Amino acid sequence: MSSGFVKTADGTEIFFKDWGPKDAQTIHFHHGWPLSSDDWDAQLLFFLSKGYRVVAHDRRGHGRSSQVDTGNTIDRYAADASAVVEHLDLRNVVHIGHSTGGGEVARYVARYGQPQGRVAKAVLVAAIPPLMLKTPANPEGTPIEVFDGFRAALAANRSQFYLDVASGPFYGFNRPGAKVSQGIIQNWWRQGMMGGAFAQYEGIKAFSETDQTEDLKAITVPTLVLQGDDDQVVPYKDAAILQAKLVKNSTLKIYPGFPHGMLTTHADVINPDLLAFVKG
């Protein structure tokens, strides 16, 4: 089956894609907020062309998965990812997560993938762990007022908010001299508007307030940590730098000038680096 749904323990239907030779090395992709597995198009096609099996799913409340009003937490996101892996009986998998998907990967690997012996390697790309929110213990984090602003903008006019995010900070299109792509902006907006407003609203709390320090400490498989130093969404000093320190078996690469959405804007650079890590 090249695509389908898996029903989780609480009845949520999670959409997934499963492309390529079923006996090939599997790479499982976990998307960011508020997008869908379509955000991985540039990577899915690239790895397919190299002979890999690629799997990607839509997070609950996002894309083609159920627009549920419950379970919009990192815990449940990881459990849903595990449901896909177990449904397809995937083993020796490389899990790659972007942004919120990176948090999903960290908790999945720590709680399910490693204990079940199903994960081979992990990649965190511009990922949210260990904690985005500014707290007394995390003084370099992002103030709660920023995330409250996200919630207010989503509730007031989700469509305009998503256009503004894609047109500005996500891809660095607000930087002087940036090469702006209307197609990329419209595709981001399309993916966002496919999902459920409530699940995406709840997702802001999940990606900003979940402390994943212990998840990172628990990861023992080889892990590649990637981020651009011009990431305007997830500050790299509070993300990739700390991830590389907390994950025992990690390799860190920082890309000068690259934005949060570098997997799309700089796929020609990122994809070969991902391939080298998968093959290494």
Active site members? 99, 231, 260
In 3D space, the residue among 109, 130, 95, 106 whose CA is nearest the CA of residue 235 turns out to be 130
Cα–Cα distance, 276 to 101 (Å, whole number): 21
